């Protein structure tokens, strides 16, 4: 059960990011890639990439090269890393191969604790995600949690187009995204094609941020005075940039404000649109039923 206390909001105490962290989180992917190429850690052509990754032997060879280069640059790199990890960030992102956490943030091994799954979901019934969250918050004492979704997400597309009754684990897994779709159906109907997919991807991030903040793990950390900020960002595949979707949430009071401005307002807008359209009850019910049918889709694709 989520435990969000209802009390009068107090002036939020912001645990703002340092200038260095802001630079790191906003740095485009291409900058990280350029640095990697200069260091010899990133392949410079798709042809070489394919040749090096189409067999385990190629992967092992690249691993040996990487290890040697790391030790040459910093002889104590692995001995330090082996003894302790002190990441400041927990990254919760999509399993998509085009969205690698460390590279996007410009951070190295030991600096980011990572949880990835299809659709960057964090539901309270997911023991994997909750265990990761608990370990990061209570044992590692991370200071920041970042939920990162991305445009052109396959899981989001599935939530818009896959029939509810279609069998398969993926279809069951993305039900939380489908629920977000239904909550904001009238807003999503204002968009078409890729714009609709990307809008739902952003709404999904906002929902997962709420799920994290309303979890007993994070609620208890705040009650104990632990400094913990939760962020929601979206990643654009076409330019490699991360965009912040909401102000950081650092307390229960922040969460209450977030619920009103980022979740409540969207739901109110849906209700306002229904009232403005002057639907009769039976028409509204029929509309909602139609919106719940993913086949024949929201996207019109």
Active-site position among 27, 94, 151, 213: 94
Which pLDDT value is given to residue 274?
Answer: 46
Does some domain include residue 109?
yes
Which pLDDT value is given to residue 235?
Answer: 98
Q: Are 103 and 29 in contact (CB under 8 A)?
A: yes
Does some domain include residue 260?
yes
The answer to whether residues 45 and 189 belong to one domain is no
The answer to whether residues 67 and 135 belong to one domain is no
The answer to whether residues 46 and 92 belong to one domain is no
The answer to whether residues 260 and 172 belong to one domain is yes
Is 98 in the active site? yes
The answer to whether residues 49 and 91 belong to one domain is no
Does some domain include residue 52?
yes
Q: Out of 84, 110, 143, pick the residue that ends a domain.
A: 84
Which pLDDT value is given to residue 269?
Answer: 44
CATH number reported for the structural domain that contains residue 102 in this entry: 3.40.1050.10
Which pLDDT value is given to residue 24?
Answer: 41
Which pLDDT value is given to residue 11?
Answer: 39
Active-site position among 22, 98, 260, 293: 98
Cβ-proximal residues to 28 (8 Å cutoff; 6+ apart), any chain: 239, 240, 241
The answer to whether residues 51 and 157 belong to one domain is no
The answer to whether residues 70 and 101 belong to one domain is no
Does some domain include residue 96?
yes
Is beta strand 144-150 parallel, antiparallel or unpaired with respect to 229-236?
parallel
Total domains, the chain:
2
Return the SS3 of 100. coil
The answer to whether residues 73 and 177 belong to one domain is no
Q: Residue positions in the annotated binding site for Zn(2+)?
A: 94, 96, 150, 153
Does some domain include residue 17?
no
Cβ-proximal residues to 119 (8 Å cutoff; 6+ apart), any chain: 94, 149, 153, 155, 156, 159, 173, 174, 176, 177, 204
Is 96 in the active site? yes
Which pLDDT value is given to residue 206?
Answer: 96
Q: Residue positions in the annotated binding site?
A: 94, 96, 150, 153
Q: Which pTM was predicted? A: 0.73
Kind and range of the H or E element at 218? helix 216-223
The answer to whether residues 102 and 137 belong to one domain is yes
Is 150 in the active site? yes
Q: Out of 49, 67, 84, pick the residue that ends a domain.
A: 84
- pLDDT tens-place values along the chain, 301 residues long: 444 443 333 333 333 334 333 334 444 433 443 454 344 444 444 445 555 567 999 999 999 999 999 999 999 999 999 988 999 999 999 999 999 999 999 999 999 999 999 999 999 999 999 999 999 999 999 999 999 999 999 999 999 987 777 778 998 899 999 999 998 988 899 999 999 999 999 999 999 999 999 999 999 999 999 999 999 999 999 999 999 999 999 999 999 888 888 776 555 444 444 444 455 566 556 655 554 443 334 543 3
What is the domain range of residue 280? 85-291
Does some domain include residue 14?
no
Q: Out of 46, 64, 84, pick the residue that ends a domain.
A: 84
The answer to whether residues 233 and 101 belong to one domain is yes
Is 94 in the active site? yes
Does some domain include residue 60?
yes
Active-site position among 96, 148, 207, 213: 96
Which pLDDT value is given to residue 48?
Answer: 55
Which pLDDT value is given to residue 263?
Answer: 78
The answer to whether residues 54 and 144 belong to one domain is no
Which pLDDT value is given to residue 50?
Answer: 57
- What phi and psi, each to the nearest 5 degrees, are found at residue 115? -125, 120
The answer to whether residues 168 and 216 belong to one domain is yes
Does some domain include residue 9?
no
Active-site position among 27, 144, 150, 231: 150
Active-site position among 132, 148, 153, 213: 153
Taking the C-alpha atoms of residue 7 and residue 24, their distance in angstroms, rounded to an integer, is 36
- What phi and psi, each to the nearest 5 degrees, are found at residue 241? -105, 145
Taking the C-alpha atoms of residue 196 and residue 217, their distance in angstroms, rounded to an integer, is 33
């Amino acid at each position: 059960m989520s435990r969000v206390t209802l009390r009068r909001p107090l002036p939020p105490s912001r645990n703002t990011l340092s200038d260095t962290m802001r630079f790191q989180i906003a740095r485009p992917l291409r900058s990280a890639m350029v640095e990697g190429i200069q260091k010899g850690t990133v392949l410079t052509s798709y042809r070489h990439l394919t040749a090096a990754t189409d067999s385990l032997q190629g992967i092992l060879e690249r691993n040996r090269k990487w290890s040697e280069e790391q030790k040459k640059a910093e002889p104590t790199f692995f001995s330090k890393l082996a003894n302790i990890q002190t990441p400041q960030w927990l990254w919760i992102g999509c399993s998509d191969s085009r969205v690698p956490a460390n590279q996007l943030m410009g951070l190295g091994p030991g600096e980011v604790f990572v949880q990835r799954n299809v659709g960057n979901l964090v539901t309270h019934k997911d023991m994997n995600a909750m265990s990761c969250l608990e370990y990061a918050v209570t044992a590692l004492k991370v200071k920041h949690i970042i939920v990162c979704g991305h445009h052109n997400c396959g899981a989001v597309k599935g939530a818009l187009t896959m029939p509810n009754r279609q069998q398969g684990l993926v279809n069951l897994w993305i039900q939380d995204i489908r629920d977000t779709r239904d909550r904001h159906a009238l807003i999503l109907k204002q968009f078409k094609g890729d714009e609709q997919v990307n809008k739902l991807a952003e709404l999904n991030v906002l929902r997962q941020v709420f799920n994290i903040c309303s979890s007993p793990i994070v609620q208890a950390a705040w009650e104990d005075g632990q400094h913990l900020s939760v962020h929601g960002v979206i990643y654009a595949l076409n330019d490699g940039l991360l965009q912040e979707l909401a102000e950081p949430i650092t307390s229960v009071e922040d969460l209450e404000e977030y619920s009103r401005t980022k979740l409540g307002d969207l739901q109110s807008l849906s209700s306002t649109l229904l009232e403005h359209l002057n639907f009769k009850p039976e028409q509204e019910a029929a509309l909602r039923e139609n919106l719940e049918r993913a086949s024949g889709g929201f996207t019109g694709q």
